[in-house]
Structures are given as structure tokens and as C-alpha cells.
Copies of this chain bind each other. A is one copy, B any other.
Amino acid sequence: MAEEVTRVMVAVNESSMKGYPHPSISSKGAFEWTINKIVRNNVSAFNLLFLHVQVPDEDGFNDMDSIYASPDDFKNMNQRDRIRGVHLLEYFVNRCHEIGVVCQAWIMKGDPKEVICHEVKRLRPDLLVVGSRGLGPFQKYVQLLYFL
């Protein structure tokens, strides 16, 4: 059997509920699925890598509670995004800590598809888990899975 741990990258994002810096249902589903169906009780054999990609808000129209009048306003917005992202990752890192799985988590900015592909090439995980909804013939969730 393999000696090295199996490295599973899980791409996670926030709930679309505004002001609610918690994981989306599909991210939570992807995480729970990974733990329940893949890792199971073999916790020392797996490492989880959580990637959260933040999409730069180009026009700011989604931030209707913000008024931008100076460069500092954008700085504050970036700061707020950063905090929301950190809270999101905190949820997954805490869950891993409870379960006893080693993990790493980080935030990047850009187009999620491009960034995920880039990070997969860079870090070469054994498995990529991406929660999503109603894609193709497989309802509810589909993930791309990858091996070297």
C-alpha cells in the first residue's frame, strides 16, 4: 500500500447569503463527502488542502451597502473580503482539527476555474473535490477527480 499520504484539494466558497461568512451548501457537502466517503476513519492517511478563490468585485454593484469615495474605501473593502475569506477557511480548519486530519488552507484572487487549474498544476494533489450543483448527467454534485 502507499506510504505517502493522499493529498485532497477541496475548493471551497462562501454561502451566497449576503453578510454570512459561512461555507456554501455545496462546499460543506463536498467537505462532508470527502470525510465520510474517502477519509473515513483513516485520518492519518490524508491531508486536506482548502483553496478559496475570491472573485475580484469589478464594479462593486454587489456591495450595495458600500460607498466608494476614496482609495481607503477600496482598501477597507479588500480588508473585509480578506476577513470573510479567513472566516470561511477557519470553519474548515476547525472541522479538520476536531476530526484529526492534517490540513492547509489559503485564499487566492481571480477566476475560480483558472485559479483552481493553476493550483492543481502547482501542487499536484491526488484528488480535487469541487462541490457543485446540477452539472451534466450527474445531479446534485459532481466533482472532478484527478490523478498524476
Whether, in the assembled complex, A127 has its beta carbon less than 8 Å from a beta carbon of chain B, the answer is yes
Q: Which residues of B contact A144 (CB under 8 A)?
A: 138, 142, 144-145
Residues of A within 8 A of B (CB-CB), count: 29
Q: Indicate if the CB atoms of A147 and B141 lie closer than 8 Å.
A: yes
A95, B87: Cα distance in complex, Å: 45
Q: Indicate if the CB atoms of B40 and A41 lie closer than 8 Å.
A: no
Q: Mark A124-136, 1 if CB is under 8 A from B, else 0.
A: 0011010000000
7 A-B residue pairs with CB within 8 Å? A1-B35, A1-B36, A1-B41, A38-B127, A41-B42, A129-B145, A143-B147
Further contacts, 20 of them, CB under 8 A, given A33-B147, A37-B147: A1-B36, A1-B40, A1-B41, A2-B40, A6-B40, A29-B147, A33-B126, A38-B38, A40-B42, A42-B42, A117-B137, A127-B145, A129-B145, A138-B146, A140-B147, A140-B148, A141-B147, A142-B145, A142-B146, A145-B145
